[in-house]
Structure 1
Amino acid sequence: MSISQSRSLIAALSIAIALPVSGFAGGSSSFLPDYMKPANPLLASETWDDFLREETIGAAEVLDGDDLMALDAPIQAFDAGTVPFTVRQRSDTGARITNLKVVVDENPMPLAAEFEFGPAMGDVTLEARVRYDVFSNIRAIATVADGRTFMVGRFVQAAGGCSAAVSRDPVAAFATMGQMRLKEFNTSGLQMSEMPGNEHEVQLMIRHPNFTGLQVRTGSLEHIEARYVNFVEVKLGDEMLFTMTGGFSISENPTFRFNYIDNGSQEMTVRAVDTEGEEFTESFALRSGT
């Protein structure tokens, strides 16, 4: 092998090693070799082809979303009632995601959540948890500001989460329903800056049993009536970060971990509404810059 050939090989290996971690999770077909693609790719689905596609996005043309975003979801979930997923928009795509639908094909309520994003979300990074009724695809379907629609997906082995026993007695669950917490993360290792334009990461936690209507009371065959959070609005000062319209496929005690762009406000407000029309609100003082 010549010296020039050796240098070319070393350069190629360096590029492969330097690929971002999100590449493993997202599996962009444009640059990943077969051995680096995800082990649980989206599978063919009669449910999606027969009716769910039309119900979810109508006649919209769906583009391969691998170069826009990555979707992380486990191959096999430990708990079918709390299956985590993460959507990470790839940097420097030149697109702004305005809408995101999360679909679990084989769930009784396939559209788990629909998010509307404001500009302050920047490149969207969002983590949440869903229930799984049977083995199924999970899809992230994004619409960008110019109207194009992109989709990525994974197949997850998990079952029984929509009818699984509730983790708390319903009376106790109702007693704490609507309580919220906000956790801020400092991933830089440096003092958090309050300067507008900087990116921050937080996790919003909402206490709510999100009863599906398919669960029974412990020690009986009596069904618990469906009651779940179906709307969440998160604002940074007066600016909307995102809204979520959801169903019972979102797990008990909904949690959303996300990034946002600092607009200078020192307060984040959250409003959540459930299917009984009960409204829960909370304001959080942000400690960025302290």
Structure 2
Amino acid sequence: MTFPRFFVRRVLSAACFSAGMLAAPLTVVAQTPAWQRVDAVKALVGNNLQAGQAVKLELPLVSEDGSSVALSVIADQPLGDGVYIRYLDIFALGNPTPQVAHFELGPEVAPLNLGLRVRLGESQTVVVVARSSDGRAFVSERAIRITTSGCIAGAALPDKALEMKERVRLPKQFVAGKPAEVLTMITHPMETGLVPDASGKLPDQRIIDSFTASLGDRQFIKAQFYRSMAANPYVRFTLAPTASTDLQLVWREDTGRKTEYKAAIQVAAQ
């Protein structure tokens, strides 16, 4: 399925540039990982950092359009019997709002293969912190060069009635214990509040700030989004249900509006 994009470029504002200049520059300091210079990231990691690349961050080395950059977080190495990635935090260190998203995940999402689209205001380092259900912490970071800044206001939609419209792609049938891909998107401008409108006034921030997914009455994704998420928030994840049930997805805007999606899913025995 191809998701539509409704982006309209705007001239970058002085506010956007000044906010970006206050953020950490893309430099290498004596081999020290970028995340070790960020208090919010260090607080999440604590004393539980694990060596190795059990969790991988994938994104392009160069992006011509910083307003929507594809990002994937993958944990394809066994973490131990019954152990899965429980918490996931994503940071864009050069953005005015560095935190992109926070996820609380259930075992239904294992093995983790999560995809998003993020907004990057300048060339910078992106960091992911993954914490497992047994308390270990894994960190992965990647530098990316941005040709055109994504530090712009949200996309202008051709028809305001299109806002809060969801799109979901599911397998026709799941097989018990085997992960399959689920794609979700909601149409929304994700107004950052950083760029003046035509009258020169800064608009209020207006974003989709939460996303949840449940199987029956069990919630397996609880996500908090920030304004560094790209317009038309997109989430791709793998799901391994064990029995036929209902899938429910809920998106909430910071104004209180929400959109719900519900579908019966069929799970066949192996």
Query: Scaled by the length of structure 1, what TM-score is found?
Result: 0.73
> How much has 1:64 moved relative to structure 2?
5.1
CA distance in 2, matches of 1:127, 1:153: 15
> Judging changes above 3 Å, is the alpha-carbon distance between structure 1 residues 65 and 79 closer, same or farther for their aligned structure 2 residues?
farther
Given residue 188 of structure 2, which amino acid in structure 1 is its aligned partner? H
Task: State how 1:168-187 maps to structure 2 within 5 Å.
Answer: 168-169=156-157, 172-173=159-160, 175-184=161-170
Whether 1:162 and 2:151 are equivalent positions in the alignment is yes
Is residue 240 from structure 1 mapped to residue 228 from structure 2 by the alignment?
Answer: no
> What is the alpha-carbon distance in structure 2 between the residues aligned to residue 201 and residue 46 of structure 1?
32
Which one of 200, 203, 207 corresponds to residue 224 of structure 1? Answer: 203
**1:237-283 deviation per Cα after TM superposition (whole angstroms, max 9, x unaligned):** 22222111110001100001110112223431111111112222121
RMSD of aligned alpha carbons = 2.7
- 3-state SS in 2 of match to 1:103: strand
- Higher RCO (CA 8 Å, separation ≥ 6 residues): 2
Q: Distance in 2 between matches of 1:274 and 1:65?
A: 38
Q: Secondary structure of the residue that 2:193 maps to in structure 1? A: coil
For residue 287 of structure 1, report the CA deviation from its aligned partner. 6.4
Of the three residues 189, 205, 225, the one matched with 1:209 is 189
Aligned-partner SS, 1:100? strand
Alpha-carbon offset, residue 148 of structure 1: 1.5
Superposition deviation, residue 214 in structure 1: 1.2
Report the Cα distance in structure 2 between the residues aligned to 1:287 and 1:177, rounded to whole angstroms: 30
Distance of 1:272 and 1:80 partners within structure 2: 24
Larger Rg: 1
Provide closer, same or farther for how the CA distance between residues 265 and 259 of structure 1 changes in structure 2, counting only shifts above 3 A: same
Q: Does 1:252 align with 2:248?
A: no
Residue 176 of structure 2 corresponds to residue 199 of structure 1: no
Task: Give the stretch that moved more between structures: 153-162 or 81-90.
Answer: 153-162
Contact map agreement 1:66 1:152 (CA 8 A) in 2:
no
- Change in Cα spacing, 1:147 to 1:42, as seen in structure 2 (3 Å) is farther
Matches within 5 A, 1:30-109: 43-44=28-29, 48-50=35-37, 52-54=38-40, 57=43, 60-61=46-47, 63=49, 66-94=52-80, 95-109=83-97
Q: What amino acid does structure 2 have at the position aligned with 1:135?
A: S
Q: State percent identity of aligned pairs.
A: 24
Is there any run of 5+ residues in structure 2 with no aligned partner, and where?
1-25
* Deviation readout 1:29-75 (Å, 9 max, x if unpaired): xxxxxxxxxxxx9955898555x334662570263564312111111
Which residue in the other structure is 2:104 paired with? 116
Q: Does 1:152 align with 2:132?
A: no
The Cα of 1:99 is off from its aligned counterpart by 0.1
Q: How far is 1:129 from its partner?
A: 0.8
Conserved? CA contact 1:47–1:106, under 8 Å: no
- Equivalences, count: 238
Does the Cα contact within 8 Å between 1:42 and 1:154 map onto a contact in 2? Answer: no
Considering fraction of residues, name the structure with more helix. Answer: 1
Distance 1:155 1:48 in 2: 11
Structure-2-length-normalised TM-score:
0.78
Is the 2:103–2:222 Cα contact (8 Å) retained in structure 1?
A: yes
Report SS of the residue matched to 2:53.
Answer: coil
CA contact (8 A) 1:211 1:248 kept: yes
Tell whether the 8 Å contact from 1:42 to 1:153 is kept in structure 2 after alignment. Answer: no
Question: 2-side partners of 1:231 and 1:157: how far apart?
Answer: 28
Gaps of 5+ in 1: 1-40, 186-191
How far is the alpha carbon of 1:167 from its aligned partner?
A: 3.4
